[in-house]
C-alpha cells in the first residue's frame, strides 16, 4: 500500500487533474489518494467565514456561486458519461447547500471547520467520478468516518487504522480516495489539521496502514538547499533524514507541513517529495538514513516575535526559568529560540494570539521588551555544528544585525534571528558564503 497526496496546485485545473490521473495510473499496487481542494478554493471558503462576522450574505452568496461555477466547469471538462456527470453535480450541489446553511449559523470553531473543508469534499468526489469515467475502479471515502485525531501533536494512528479498515468496502479495489486537512477532534467534532495539513493527513494514514511509502506531490521538485522564491541558483536535495526534514519544515520550508514526518518516523516509512508537473525528476527522499554530514539547506520562518526579560536581580536564581516557561505553557505558546545572560533572557514565539496575556504575567519579573516582524533563518544538516563551512555565518555580523543565535542546541540546526526586512539579504549572503552561489531576490 502506498499513500499519495496531491496538493491544491496539483489539482488546480482540468489539465492538472488529468495529469494526476496519469501519475496514479502509472503507479502499481494499492494506493490511498489524499487530495487537497482546488487551488484558491480554501481561501474563498475562509472569506466566507470572515463575511459571516459582518452578516454580509450577499458576499457569501457570491462566493458560493463562484464555487458552483468552478466545480461544474471542472466536471464538464473531465467527465463524459452523463450519469457520472449527474452524480458529481448532485454531490457538489448538496455540499454547497450545506455550505450556505453553515454560513447562516453562529460562528464557532466547528462551523469554521465545516466551511473550510468543503473544498476537499467536492474535489475528491469529482476526481472519483472522473476515474470511473476513465474505467479506473476506485472507492471514495469520507475522512469524517475514520480520521479521528484528538491530539494534533501525537495522533493515534492505530485508531485511525482500525477506523479505516472498518470504512473500506469489501469490494476489491486498488485505489481509495479521501480528503486531506479534515479530521474529527477529541469531542467528535469536525475540525482540521490546520492549513497545509493534507501532508499530515497522508503520513497519519501512511502510519495507520503501515504503508510501503508516502508520496507528497506538489509543484516543486523536492526540498531545495535555499528558498527558491527569493534566491536563484538553488538546487533540490536528493536525500534528507527525518530529523533534517522536520527541522526545515518547522523553520519555514513551505513545501512540507511542519508535523508531516512525525507519524512515520518510528515505523521508518519513507516520504518522497515529487513535482506533479515534472514527475520524472528525482525529487527528495526523506527516510531514517542520513545521507552524509554537514550543511545541506537553509530555510526561513517569518512572523516571529522576540521577547526580552531584563532583571536587576540574579536572573538564573533557582526556579526562575521554570516560572517563565510555565506562563508560556499555560497559554499553549511554543518557544522557538532562547538565549540567556546573567541579567536577561531572550526568547522567540511564532504565535501571538495570547501575547498580551503572557506579557501581563511575566511583567512582574523585570523590564519587558517586545520586538515583532522578525524571521528565523535556519541552517540544517546532519552534524551541521561540526561543518567548517557553518562558521561562515559569523561573517554576517559586520554586515547585518543578528538579534539572536542558537548554536549547539541541536547537532542538526543553527538558527539566526534577524529583522524580516533583512531576511532576503541574509538568505542571499548565506547562499554565496556557504554554497558559493550568486543570488538575486525575486519578490513574490
- Using the 3D structure, point to which of 152, 186, 219 is the last residue of a domain: 219
Check: CB of residue 412 under 8 Å from CB of residue 354.
no
What does pTM read for this prediction? 0.88
Looking at the domain assignment, is residue 171 inside a domain?
yes
Residues 180 and 76 placed together within one structural domain of the fold: yes
**Averaging pLDDT over each range in 3-7, 229-233, 433-437, which range is the top one?**
3-7
Check: CB of residue 240 under 8 Å from CB of residue 284.
yes
- CA 96 and chain centroid, separation: 26
* CA–CA gap between residue 209 and residue 30 (Å, rounded): 11
Residues 92 and 179 placed together within one structural domain of the fold: yes
Question: Looking at the predicted structure, is the pLDDT value of residue 223 above 80?
Answer: yes
Residue at grid coordinates 504503508: 211
Looking at the domain assignment, is residue 124 inside a domain?
yes
Residue at grid coordinates 536528493: 238
Looking at the domain assignment, is residue 376 inside a domain?
yes
C-alpha cell at 176: 481509495
pLDDT score for 340: 83
C-alpha cell at 381: 544538516
Residues 83 and 169 placed together within one structural domain of the fold: yes
pLDDT tens across 403-419, in order?
A: 998 876 777 888 999 99
CATH of the domain at 167: 3.40.1160.10
Longest dimension (CA), the chain: 78
Residues 128 and 19 placed together within one structural domain of the fold: yes
Q: Report residue 303: phi and psi, to 5°.
A: 60, 40
* CA–CA gap between residue 431 and residue 434 (Å, rounded): 6
pLDDT score for 109: 94
Looking at the domain assignment, is residue 254 inside a domain?
no
pLDDT score for 393: 77
Residues 101 and 212 placed together within one structural domain of the fold: yes
Query: Around 120, how many Cα atoms within 13 Å sit in the side-chain half-sphere?
Result: 30
- Using the 3D structure, point to which of 219, 254, 286 is the last residue of a domain: 219
Average pLDDT of the chain to the nearest whole number: 90
Question: Looking at the predicted structure, is the pLDDT value of residue 290 above 60?
Answer: yes
Residues 203 and 306 placed together within one structural domain of the fold: no
Residues 188 and 318 placed together within one structural domain of the fold: no
Residue 140 neighbours by CB under 8 Å, 6+ apart: 124, 125, 128, 177, 178
**Which of 28-32, 50-54, 350-354, 436-440 bottoms out in mean pLDDT, i.e. has the lowest?**
436-440
Residue 206 neighbours by CB under 8 Å, 6+ apart: 3, 213, 214, 263, 264, 269, 271
Looking at the domain assignment, is residue 260 inside a domain?
no
Looking at the domain assignment, is residue 8 inside a domain?
yes
pLDDT score for 444: 31
Which residue has better confidence, 177 or 251? 177
Looking at the domain assignment, is residue 380 inside a domain?
yes
Residues 15 and 123 placed together within one structural domain of the fold: yes
CATH of the domain at 417: 3.30.2130.10
The domain containing residue 413 runs over which residues? 297-435
Residues 18 and 110 placed together within one structural domain of the fold: yes
C-alpha cell at 139: 472507492
Q: Quick one: average pLDDT of 186-198?
A: 92
pLDDT tens across 71-119, in order?
A: 999 999 999 999 999 999 999 999 999 999 999 999 999 999 999 999 9
Residues 28 and 174 placed together within one structural domain of the fold: yes
Alpha-carbon distances, residue 37 vs 7, 9, 126, 300, 398 (angstroms): 8, 9, 11, 26, 46
Number of domains in the chain: 2
Buried b (16+ CB within 10 A) or exposed e, 403-424: bbbbbeeeebbbbbbbbeebbb
Q: What is the dihedral of CA 291, 406, 304, 258, to 10 degrees?
A: 30
**Which of 31-45, 52-66, 265-279, 290-304 bottoms out in mean pLDDT, i.e. has the lowest?**
290-304
**Which of 39-43, 155-159, 239-243 bottoms out in mean pLDDT, i.e. has the lowest?**
239-243
- Using the 3D structure, point to which of 194, 219, 244 is the last residue of a domain: 219
Residue 54 zone, left/alpha/beta (φ > 0; ψ -120 to 50; rest): alpha
Looking at the domain assignment, is residue 145 inside a domain?
yes
Amino acid at each position: 500500500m502506498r499513500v499519495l497526496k496531491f496538493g491544491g496546485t496539483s489539482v488546480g485545473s482540468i489539465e492538472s487533474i488529468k495529469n494526476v490521473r496519469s501519475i496514479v495510473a502509472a503507479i502499481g499496487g494499492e494506493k490511498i489518494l489524499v487530495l487537497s481542494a482546488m487551488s484558491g478554493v480554501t481561501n474563498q471558503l475562509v472569506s466566507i467565514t470572515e463575511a459571516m462576522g459582518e452578516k454580509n450574505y450577499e458576499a457569501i452568496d457570491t462566493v458560493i456561486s463562484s464555487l458552483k461555477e468552478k466545480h461544474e466547469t471542472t466536471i464538464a471538462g473531465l467527465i463524459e458519461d452523463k450519469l457520472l456527470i449527474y452524480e458529481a453535480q448532485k454531490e457538489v450541489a448538496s455540499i454547497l447547500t450545506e455550505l450556505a446553511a453553515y454560513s447562516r449559523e453562529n460562528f464557532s470553531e466547528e462551523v469554521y471547520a465545516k466551511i473550510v473543508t468543503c473544498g476537499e469534499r467536492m474535489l475528491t468526489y469529482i476526481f472519483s467520478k472522473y476515474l470511473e469515467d476513465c474505467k479506473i475502479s476506485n472507492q471514495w471515502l469520507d475522512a469524517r468516518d475514520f480520521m479521528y485525531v484528538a491530539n494534533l501533536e501525537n495522533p493515534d494512528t492505530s485508531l485511525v487504522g482500525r477506523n479505516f479498515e472498518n470504512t473500506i468496502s469489501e469490494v476489491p479495489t486498488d485505489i481509495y480516495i479521501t480528503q486531506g486537512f479534515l479530521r474529527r477532534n477529541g469531542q467528535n467534532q469536525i475540525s482540521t489539521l490546520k492549513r497545509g495539513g493534507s501532508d499530515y493527513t497522508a503520513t497519519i494514514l501512511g502510519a495507520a496502514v503501515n504503508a510501503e511509502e508516502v508520496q507528497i506531490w506538489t509543484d516543486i521538485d523536492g526540498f531545495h538547499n535555499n528558498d527558491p522564491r527569493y534566491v536563484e541558483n538553488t538546487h533540490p536535495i536528493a536525500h534528507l533524514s527525518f530529523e533534517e526534514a522536520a527541522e526545515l519544515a518547522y523553520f519555514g520550508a513551505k513545501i512540507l507541513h511542519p508535523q508531516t514526518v512525525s507519524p512515520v518516523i518510528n515505523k521508518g516509512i519513507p516520504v518522497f517529495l515529487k513535482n506533479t508537473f515534472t514527475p520524472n525528476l528525482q525529487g527528495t527522499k526523506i527516510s531514517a538514513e542520513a545521507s552524509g554530514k554537514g550543511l545541506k539547506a537553509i530555510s526561513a520562518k517569518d512572523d516571529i516575535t522576540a521577547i526580552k526579560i531584563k532583571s536587576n536581580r540574579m536572573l538564573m536564581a533557582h526556579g526562575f526559568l521554570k516560572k517563565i516557561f510555565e506562563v508560556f505553557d499555560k497559554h499553549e505558546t511554543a518557544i522557538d529560540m532562547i538565549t540567556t545572560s546573567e541579567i536577561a533572557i531572550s526568547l522567540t514565539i511564532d504565535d501571538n494570539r495570547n501575547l498580551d496575556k503572557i506579557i501581563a504575567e511575566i511583567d512582574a519579573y523585570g523590564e519587558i521588551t517586545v520586538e515583532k516582524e522578525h524571521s528565523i533563518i535556519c541552517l540544517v544538516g546532519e552534524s551541521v555544528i561540526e561543518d567548517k563551512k557553518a562558521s561562515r555565518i559569523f561573517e554576517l555580523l559586520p554586515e547585518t544585525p543578528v538579534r539572536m543565535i542558537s548554536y549547539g542546541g541541536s547537532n542538526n540546526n543553527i538558527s539566526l534571528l534577524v529583522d524580516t526586512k533583512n531576511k532576503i539579504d541574509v538568505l542571499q549572503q548565506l547562499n554565496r558564503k556557504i554554497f558559493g552561489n550568486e543570488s538575486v531576490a525575486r519578490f513574490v
